[in-house]
Amino acid sequence: MHAEMTSQELFEQLSNGGKLNLIDVREPDEWEEGHIKEARSIPLSQFQARAHEVHDVEGDVVFICRSGARSGRVCEFLTLQGFDVANVVGGMLAWPGEVVTGP
């Protein structure tokens, strides 16, 4: 079972300077509509081809999507492979902070 955190907990960790490797698995059009500035985009549709990029950044690996469903599936997949990852339940729908738009 993978770890979970709420959008509020993510916001608090980022606000306090927490070192997180935050990966947004939403598709490019969703990303451009608004994303967390500390996040990186690895769309679910490209995930298998780009999975090697997950550990390119230091910090605890945390996945987010619109609601937490797609990122939860990624977390389940990686947890079965032995990786320690966390899912943001509630996703961007519950994100209390600012978002950045564009690519």
**Helix (H), strand (E), coil (C) string for 7-72:** HHHHHHHHHCCCCEEEEECCCHHHHHHCECCCCEECCHHHHHHHHHHHHHCCCEEEEECCCCHHHH
User: What distance, in Å, lies between the first and last C-alpha atoms of the chain?
Assistant: 32
Read off the pLDDT of residues 69-81 as tens digits, 9 standing for 90 and up.
999 999 999 999 9
Predicted structure pTM score: 0.96
Q: How high is the pLDDT of residue 24? A: 98
- The CATH code that applies to domain 3-94 is 3.40.250.10
Q: Mean pLDDT score of the chain, rounded to an integer? A: 96
Read off the pLDDT of residues 77-98 as tens digits, 9 standing for 90 and up.
999 999 999 999 999 999 999 9
Q: How high is the pLDDT of residue 2? A: 87
Annotated active-site positions, please?
65
